[in-house]
Each structure stands twice: as C-alpha cells, then as structure tokens.
Amino acid sequence: MNLHAIKAIYVFELARTWRTLMQSIASPVISTSLYFIVFGSAIGSRMVEIEGVSYGAFIVPGLIMLSILTESIMNASFGIYMPKFSGTIYEVLSAPISAFEIVVGYVGAAATKSVILGLIILATARLFVDFSILHPFWMIGFLVLTSVAFSLLGFVIGVWADGWEKLQIVPMMIVTPLAFLGGSFYSISMLPELWQKITLFNPVVYLISGFRWSFYGISDVDVGVSLGATFGFVLVCLAAIWAIFRTGYKLKT
C-alpha cells in the first residue's frame, strides 16, 4: 500500500479545511447553535419530556446528525470534484496510486473533518442544554461510521456531478429533508401509525435512532437494525465506487 500517497491526499484535503475555517467549521456550528437556542431553549422549555428526556437534550443527537450528514457529503464531493474541474484528476489517475488508496485519502479526510465538526457541535451543545452520554463508545462508533458512510456517498456525488450546482442537489434537496423527517426533532412514535410505517422507509431514521440510543438508551428502531442499516449503506456506496473505477465513469471518459 502506498502510504505516502494516502498521506499526501489526506493532508492536502485537511489543509483546505483550515484555509476555509469559516465555511467548514464556523458556519455549521453557528447554524446548529441557532437550532439549540430556538428549539432547545425557547421552545424546549415549554414542551414536555420525551421518554423521560428533556426536549432540549432529546434533539442533541438529531442536530449533530443533521450537520454530519450534509457536511460529510459536501466535504467529500467537493474534494473529488475540484480535481475533475481543474483537470488535475488525470495526474492522480496516472500516478502509482490504486483506486483504494485514492478513496481512503479523500474519504478519510472528509470523514475526519465531519467527526471533528461533530465533536465541536457536541461541546457547543453543552453550553445550551444539559445532556448525558450513556454509551460513549457507541456514540463515537456511530459518529465515525456515519461520517464514513456519507463521505463515501459524497465521493460518488462528486464523481457524478458535472457542475457546481449538482454538488448542492443531494445534500440540500434530499438529505436535509430526510433528516428533518427522520426524527431529528421528534420521536417517530409520536406520529400516527400509518406515518410511522412510512417513516421507516427513510434510511436516515436508522442513523438518528442508533445515535440517540448511544446517548440515552432510547431509540425508535432496534439498535442492531440501525447498525446493520448503516453498514449496508456503506456497502452500497463501496459497490458504487468500485463500479466507477471499474468502468472509468466520468473519470477516464
């Protein structure tokens, strides 16, 4: 394995984060803080507890997931799209680097940035609401696994996109609505029975439910199912990336 190549891509992508600190870190943290102020403090103080957890604390996992999902996609898609846009992708493809090493470099950097962002938001949430983490090991596990999964999705989107506007379509028009409707601000058990069944077709439900379980030991879906669904999503993304490099889709053509 060409560890020097992986390190070069990984370090380069992380360095871009520090050059765009306001956009990469400050902006999502400020946006999430506003959610905590409005929903956690202002509205949450007037709402009853959900399954024994105060509303402000209940939405902490969902808001972290909301940021992680969109930022993972954006980081990874921009990371691979920029070399395509500038033409430097051909230098990467002609270098003695395997497809696996390319993916590890770009996806690893995007996932690392998302994990760092998630931990910063977690620390920021403590300023607004009081919450506990019942299973810290599983919390980190779900955070890392979700960041990797959606960074893989972002890599696929970055290869597929042939314009800057297409980089925004999936995170803004698909992932964000799914996150809002996937239990970020409520438990799906509060919905009518028919809508509970419909909501189970939303893949984001399983991510948020598993992540919330790691905090409070409560979930809308069995944690084993959530973990299996996350691993399944990773496998689907890996299969798509394998097909991209196998056929050269929008990389070599």
For residues 138 and 226, the answer to whether their CB atoms sit within 8 Å is: no
CA dist 146 and 182 (Å) reads: 15
What percentage of the chain has pLDDT greater than the value 70?
Answer: 97
Taking only the tens place, the pLDDT of each residue in 5-44 is: 899 999 998 888 777 777 777 888 888 888 877 776 666 6
Residues forming beta bridges with residue 53, ordered by sequence position: 50
Pull the structure tokens for residue 78. 């921009």
User: Has this prediction a pTM greater than 0.95?
Assistant: no
Q: How far is CA 6 from the centre of its chain?
A: 22
- The answer to whether 155 touches 74, Cβ cutoff 8 Å, is no
Task: Tell me how far apart the alpha carbons of residues 163 and 26 are, in angstroms, rounded to a whole number.
Answer: 26
Q: How many CB atoms lie within 10 A of CB 69?
A: 27
Do residues 89 and 249 touch, judged by C-beta distance below 8 A?
Answer: no
Question: Which residues face 50 on adjacent strands?
Answer: 53
119-176 pLDDT per residue, tens: 999 998 888 888 889 999 999 999 999 999 999 999 999 999 888 888 888 888 888 8
Both tokens assigned to 142: 């779900």
What SS3 state is found at 65?
A: helix
Contacts of 29 (CB under 8 A, 6+ apart): 117, 120, 121, 124
Token pair listed for 96: 């003695």
Backbone φ and ψ of 106, nearest 5°: -70, -50
The model's pLDDT over 66-81, given as tens digits with 9 standing for 90+, comes to 889 988 998 899 989 9
Token code pair at residue 74: 């954006």
Report d(CA 190, CA 47) in Å as an integer. 14
User: Smallest Cα–Cα separation from 57: which of 68, 66, 69, 45?
Assistant: 45
